[in-house]
Amino acid sequence: MAKGIRDKVAIIGMGCSRFGERWDAGPDDLMLEAFQECIKDAGIDKSDIQAGWMGVFFDEQSVGKSALPLSMALRLPNIPVTRVENLCATGTEALRGAVYAVAAGACDIAIAMGVEKLKDTGFGGLPERTKGTFEDLWLPQNTAPGGFAQLGAAYAARTRTDMADLKRAMAHISVKSHANGALNPKAHLRNPITEQQVLDARMVAYPLGLFDCAGVSDGAACAIVTTPEIARSLGKHNPVTVKALQLAPSNGVELAHGSWDGSYTLTTRIAAKRAYEEAGIQDPRAELSLIEVHDCFSVTELVVMEDLGLSPEGGAVRDVMDGFFDRDGKIPCQIDGGLKCFGHPIGATGLRMVYEIYLQLQGRAGERQLPDPRLGLTHNLGGLPNRNITSVAIIGRLEG
């Protein structure tokens, strides 16, 4: 019986570029920016890295196919590099490759890099893409906000929540993330906003207004991983380790089986359950210190609180309005601003989340540092509620 990934791999260095509309930088520049911070943090030489995983979603938009862009940008010494893509879970998928390689003993030190250069399209929002040759014949040419917006009406109907109350809770989520982002020098959006601003904003996709949507950003984030033993030999005491790393893709149930009611994200429920088991967590609401969830849209953050088992069924609105997920609440969520304000360069996002947990666990998060966090969770939801990939990672420290 497999024992899972818990405490088999340590993160010894991380880096993250400034996120935002980086008119000044291409994907190669962004990767190098993240790497410079990461390699310095790890305290190793580039030649110590034995394998790499690179995640990018819109390859057609920026770097092209294959793992060459990472090998070329960092001038890696011809080590094996694998390019991965799994929608918005791409960054976590890159980390998963590197972590599994180390855990398998295939290499001692590996790098995971996520990057996305979105602001070379010439228009706002995410680029258009094909869904597949058959899918294009029947699925609507929806946008990301339109895909997630549907959670709103379905959640309100299931939980008998008044749409005005749901909208206020969604606004609270965005106001909180803007307040958090304002304290983060690398964040894309650093302007505090008010609940009224959110409620008055123009509609993007009902019921999502402009401030219910995450920023579309350029950026890169990376991690260098190794075994806890090597980490300690490099002077990293109580190293940050991976407690769980789970991935759950849809198999068509939400898309084509009538059992899904459209008000929750099925794969989040599955991935979270597996991750808690892998990490040995009994009561996530009591045990987690902070979380970074996939708040591509305010309504997504709201419903996944129930999917992650943090809020009781139908209780997310109350928890949000009670401030349970605010920076001074029981489980601060998006303490770095989240996708909403740190930004959402798709391929980098999963690693950016881990970056924040990594800094917080070591007390290195500057102005936004939380008091004594022990265990953090990251969550990505790639795709749409009816067809998606969820990744959940749990990060902590290993005594010794």
Amino acid (one-letter) located at 293: V
Give the neighbor-by-neighbor strand order of the sheet with 81-84: 81-84, 51-55, 110-116, 219-226, 10-16, 240-249, 387-397, 376-384, 290-292
Q: Is the peptide bond before 127 cis (omega within 30 degrees of 0)?
A: no
Nearest approach, Cβ of residue 257 and other proteins (Å):
5
Radius of gyration of the chain from its Cα atoms, rounded to whole angstroms: 20
Is residue 245 exposed (0-12), middle (13-18) or buried (19+ Cβ within 10 Å)?
buried
Nearest approach, Cβ of residue 134 and other proteins (Å):
5
The token pair at 363 is 């007390």
The contact pattern for other proteins, residues 258-277, with x = CB under 8 A and - = no contact, is x-xxxx--------------
Nearer to other proteins, 193 or 384 (CB): 384
Nearer to other proteins, 111 or 316 (CB): 316
Amino acid (one-letter) located at 15: G
| Contact region with other proteins (CB under 8 A), list: 10-18, 22-30, 45-53, 138-146 | 138-146
Nearest approach, Cβ of residue 158 and other proteins (Å):
9
The contact pattern for other proteins, residues 208-237, with x = CB under 8 A and - = no contact, is x-----------------------------
Which residues, 241 to 260, sit near other proteins by CB under 8 A? 251-253, 255-258, 260
**Active site residue: 88, 213, 296, 333, which one?**
88
Nearest approach, Cβ of residue 141 and other proteins (Å):
6
Nearer to other proteins, 47 or 133 (CB): 133
Residues 346, 221 contacting (CB under 8 angstroms): no
The contact pattern for other proteins, residues 94-133, with x = CB under 8 A and - = no contact, is ---------------------------xxx-x--x-x--x
Nearest approach, Cβ of residue 146 and other proteins (Å):
3
**Active site residue: 172, 178, 188, 344, which one?**
344
Residues 240, 396 contacting (CB under 8 angstroms): yes
Sign (positive or negative) of CA dihedral 253, 254, 256, 262: positive
Residues 311, 301 contacting (CB under 8 angstroms): no
Nearer to other proteins, 47 or 130 (CB): 130
Q: Give the length of the chain.
A: 400
Q: DSSP string of 230-267? A: HHHHTT-SS-EEEEEEEEEE--SHHHH-TT--SSS-HH
Q: DSSP string of 293-310? A: ---SBHHHHHHHHHHTTS
The token pair at 27 is 């994907």
Regarding 201 and contact with other proteins (CB under 8 A), the answer is no
Is residue 130 exposed (0-12), middle (13-18) or buried (19+ Cβ within 10 Å)?
exposed
Nearer to other proteins, 161 or 360 (CB): 161
Which residues, 149 to 168, sit near other proteins by CB under 8 A? 149-154, 156-157
Question: Does 379 qualify as catalytic in the annotation?
Answer: no
The DSSP bridge partners found for residue 81 are 52
Residue 50's SS3 state is coil
Nearer to other proteins, 162 or 206 (CB): 206
Regarding 180 and contact with other proteins (CB under 8 A), the answer is no
DSSP state for residue 201 in the 8-state scheme: S
Question: Does 333 qualify as catalytic in the annotation?
Answer: no
Nearer to other proteins, 156 or 220 (CB): 156
Amino acid (one-letter) located at 247: L
| 32: Cα separation from own chain's centroid | 20
Regarding 146 and contact with other proteins (CB under 8 A), the answer is yes
**Catalytic site positions:** 88, 344
Give the footprint of other proteins on this chain (CB under 8 A): 121-123, 125, 128, 130, 133-134, 136-143, 145-147, 149-154, 156-157, 202-208, 251-253, 255-258, 260-263, 385-386
